[in-house]
Amino acid sequence: MRPSFSLGIEEEYQTVDPVTRDLRSHIETEMLAQGKMRLEERVKAEMHTSVVEVGTRVCRNIQEAREDIYDLRRQMINLTEEHDLKLVAGATHPFADWRTQQIYPDPRYHQVVKDLQLVARANLIFGLHVHVGIEDREMAIRLMNSMRYFLPHIMALATNSPFWLGLNTGYKGYRAKVFENFPRTGIPDAFSSYSDFDQYVQLLVKTNCIDNAKKIWWDIRPHPFFNTVEVRACDIPLRAEETVAIAALIQATAAYLCRLHESNLDFRQYARPLLMENKFRAVRYGLDGKLIDFGRQEEVPLRDLIEEYLVLVDREVDELGSREAIEGIRKILHTGTGADRQLKVFEETNGDLKAVVDYMIQETAEGL
């Protein structure tokens, strides 16, 4: 049976004080309770109380996903403003200090903090997760294995975390460097089959490493409870249209790889250490860097690789009806990523990080 290639998008937002521009907890307000009344299960708390997560319904195509994520952003902006807060889509806050942040009072989060200690408390980051419906679990593993190659390309397009604790980190996607302190993160190894993956999970459960597969936090994984492949590698982009473009690219990549498999072809598998070299380059330099083309064994400017990538999935784009959404990728190449634009404001204002936050607030609502 051919996969549905349905979509689900999750975004994690910052709740910010409109005066100080610092992160501020939403837990003292009724914001989350009201959000659940309006949006039901599409909104939920995260581990830190200045983080709120939204998730779309299961969407049949990119048009439905776009409508849903735009609606969620609009509603969350209204909700935060009703409670004297501002909503920000940035993968790190420019100057907030994780040491002052509260942990959400939920046994699950307290257990994570108990297990991981300072690493969990310091994990004050905000991501984008994209689910693609792949109902056959063997196909999900095959697609995951092949899709690993494209993760650095996708991450570079989404970079939106240049600052940490008030410092210009020199990275375009510093969120990835914070998150890699967690166990079971990064680009996974390839698995020979779904049963091979399942045996790995069962061993971790049996030996009390994890209580379920949701605590495998790789950049891409077969979701333990939904019939999806979940790409978790990306920073949350500044604009909703950028989220939609990246989701469309992920969906088209899955469809392209599925077509290869159906033709008894495969995308060449590369070892995790090689893929991690490209991941480092992607989060360090973003669109201005070069990735390694392992087939040619040479460095290639990332912008050139993205153009090649778009040609590769072009047939799928028309089949999925995502031509307009995918054009957003070329717009990112033209305007720069969220990280590029944050850094531009930082330079133009002589290092004023509050001005950067103000810009992020404005961009979060752009085009809605």
Q: Using CA atoms, how far apart are residues 224 and 242, in angstroms rounded to an integer?
A: 27
Q: Examine residue 1 and state whether it is found in any structural domain, yes or no.
A: no
Task: Give me the domain span that covers residue 39.
Answer: 7-364
Q: Does 75 map to a domain? A: yes
55 and 40 Cβ atoms separated by less than 8 Å: no
- Is 215 inside a domain boundary? yes
Average pLDDT score over residue span 305-326: 97
Q: Residue 69 — very low, low, confident or very high, per pLDDT cuts 50/70/90?
A: very high
Query: In this model, does residue 206 exceed pLDDT 90?
Result: yes
Smallest CA-to-CA distance from 16 within 55, 56, 54, 49 is with 49
- Cβ-based burial of 40 (10 A; exposed 0-12, middle 13-18, buried ≥19): exposed
| Cα dihedral 332→243→122→185 (10° resolution) | -90
The structure tokens listed for 307 are: 């153009």
* pLDDT value of position 31: 86
State the pLDDT at residue 35.
86
Kindly state whether residue 341 falls inside one of the protein's structural domains.
yes
Q: Check which CATH number belongs to the domain holding 136 and give it.
A: 3.30.590.20
Q: What pLDDT band is residue 142 in, cutting at 50, 70 and 90?
A: very high
| Cβ atoms 356, 348 nearer than 8 A | no
| pLDDT on residue 29 | 74
Query: What was the pLDDT predicted at 103?
Result: 85
Q: How far apart are CA 36 and CA 33, in angstroms?
A: 5
Residue 183 lies in a domain: yes
The mean pLDDT of the chain is 95
| Residue 2 covered by a domain | no
Question: Predicted confidence band at 102 (pLDDT cuts at 50, 70, 90)?
Answer: confident
Total domains in the chain come to 1
Q: What is residue 40's predicted lDDT score, i.e. its pLDDT?
A: 85
| Domain-located, residue 178 | yes
Extract the tokens encoding 74: 């609009």
- Is residue 238 domain-resident? yes
Q: How far apart are CA 321 and CA 60, in angstroms?
A: 11
Find the Cα–Cα–Cα–Cα dihedral 24, 25, 28, 31, rounded to 10°.
100
pLDDT at 28 over 80: no
